[in-house]
Amino acid sequence: MLHPQRVKFAVTIVALGLVMTACTGTGGTPETNAGAESKTIRYLVEQPEDAAALKKLETHIGDFEKSSGIDVKLEAMPSENMRTVLQTQLRSGDGPDVFSWGSGPGYAGALAKAGLLHDLTGAYEQYKWPIYPFAKERVTFDGKTVGVPGEMETVGLFYNMDLFAQHGLTAPRNLAELKAAADSLRAKKIVPIAASDKEGWQGGHLLSMALSSAVGSQEMNRLLTGQKSWDSPEVISALKVWEDFAKTGYLPEFPTSLTYDGANALFYSGKAAMLPTGSWLIGGIEENAKFKVGYIPFPSESGPGIFTGGLGSGPFVSATSKNTDAAVKFVDFLASPEHARWVVENLGTIPPQPVDVSGLKLSPLLAQTLQDTSKLAAGTGDLGYNIDVLTTDVFNKAMWTGFQGILSGQRTAEDVAKDLDSAFSKK
């Protein structure tokens, strides 16, 4: 997900934890702007990694406002708050008209099942949005397409290339080399891997990367379609990797007390050598890291592993919106090729559609990620799966709390795997 989620900036908390960060528009009042009330929509996004990104988005939306005559009230909220607040707002009829949310059954699927999303099937036919078919499937439930899928992402290990070189280390090409590097770094009082899990969702990414690299996409597909059990030896082994890392001291002392932002800060400061997270952080890394950064898949026992691939957060329209026409027109703007190019250039993220990047200056990290995610779009190469966007809310809760139990030493990999298998069969 655009995890959506992360870097702090000055905000004002209002009702239900909503963070109002910007309000665009042409100004005036309903008395001075004829029909202004019916052409004003609320757009809620997850708090971005980079504080400057919100200002850029505000300016970009201003172009839409000028051309459409629709005022867009931009709001942002930390993703951990959105998960608990958004559904309440949508059910009460007080939710945003358009909001950014995760693709897949555990996110958009849960809201669609509750009848909280506007059906965009007709809009797809009308506007001919050039979304990749596989991505469109992630926002289609019971034959209805209810949103535009979010940005394409990979999840893996960022590492401090300068720090590695300083200590005579190279990027690990298998799990044994990763452990050897971690041993060397720990001996020098450097945190090997800045894994955090206070918020809970990080555990899903940690499992996704270790399991995807170990078994590959075909076996991941068998797990996600119920053809293979979640208490299988392969799942237990992937959980044990992180269980052992915590016990051996490869992670911060109390990872379940460490926030996502706190782990990022450890990496940026040079106190931690590696950071397990997703490509959505590239902008934040380029802004904050004063050293060269590499990006690799989480290694497997037998080789370099594969990146975990997935889709982040994209726009959805509330079923209770009183301005559906304006909301859909705004979604058309967000799904356009022009916006896709803007996103790559200004936010460093990769849209779920073909993008013309000619003339754009891309950082090495972003260029690499574009290449990796293009494999997913083309159906070539092997990319793993980000589990939490493809599973139910029940399963995700079991995975997140179970992983916290593993990292805190209160649960075993075997026990958590049994819970996962049980949760997978529940709706």
- Asked whether the beta carbons of 192 and 319 are under 8 A apart, the reply is no
Structure-model confidence comparison of residues 2 and 296, the more confident one: 296
- Other Cβ atoms less than 10 A from the Cβ of 10: the count is 6
Please indicate whether the domains covering 15-151+312-360 and 153-309+366-424 agree at the CATH topology level.
yes
More confident site: 295 or 379: 295
Per-residue pLDDT reduced to its tens digit, 325-377: 999 999 999 999 999 999 998 888 889 998 888 888 888 888 888 877 777 66
Which of these CATH numbers, 3.40.190.10, 1.10.565.10, 3.40.120.10, 3.50.50.60, describes 153-309+366-424?
3.40.190.10
**Domain 15-151+312-360 fold:** D-Maltodextrin-Binding Protein; domain 2 (3.40.190)
pTM of the model: 0.77
Q: Which residues contact 383 (CB under 8 A, 6 or more apart)?
A: 154, 212, 217, 306, 307, 308, 309, 372, 375, 376
**265-276: pLDDT as tens digits:** 999 999 999 999
Q: CB of 46 within 8 A of CB of 107?
A: no
Is-contact 196 272, C-beta < 8 A?
A: no
Q: Quickly count: other Cβ atoms within 10 Å of residue 37's Cβ.
A: 12
- The encoded tokens of residue 209 equal 């990367």
For 233-252, what is the mean pLDDT? 98
The secondary structure of 173-195 as a DSSP string is SSHHHHHHHHHHHHHTT-EEE--
Strand partners, 293: 160
Angle 393-407/202-224 helices, nearest 10 degrees? 130
In tens, the pLDDT along 159-209 reads 999 999 999 999 999 999 999 999 999 999 999 999 999 999 999 999 999
**Token digits of residue 231:** 């208490």
Round the average pLDDT of the chain to a whole number and report it.
Answer: 88
Where does 8-97 show beta strands of DSSP type E? 40-46, 71-77
Residue 35 pLDDT more than 60? no
Q: In sequence order, what are the residues at sequence separation of 6 or more whose Cβ sits closer than 8 angstroms to the Cβ of residue 352? A: 131, 132, 135, 148, 149, 150, 151, 152, 311, 314, 377
Spans of all domains in the chain: 15-151+312-360, 153-309+366-424
CB 108 within 8 A of CB 102: yes
Beta-strand pair 40-46/71-77:
parallel
Residues in CB range of 326: below 8 A, 6 or more apart? 38, 39, 40, 41, 68, 70, 97
Q: SS3 for 266-332, per residue? A: HHHCCCEEEEEEEHHHHHHHHHHCCCCEEEECCCCCCCCCCCEEEECEEEEEECCCCCHHHHHHHHH
Sheet holding 313-317, edge to edge: 71-77, 40-46, 98-102, 313-317
3-state per-residue secondary structure call for 387-418: HHHCCCHHHHHHHHHHHHHHHCCCCCHHHHHH
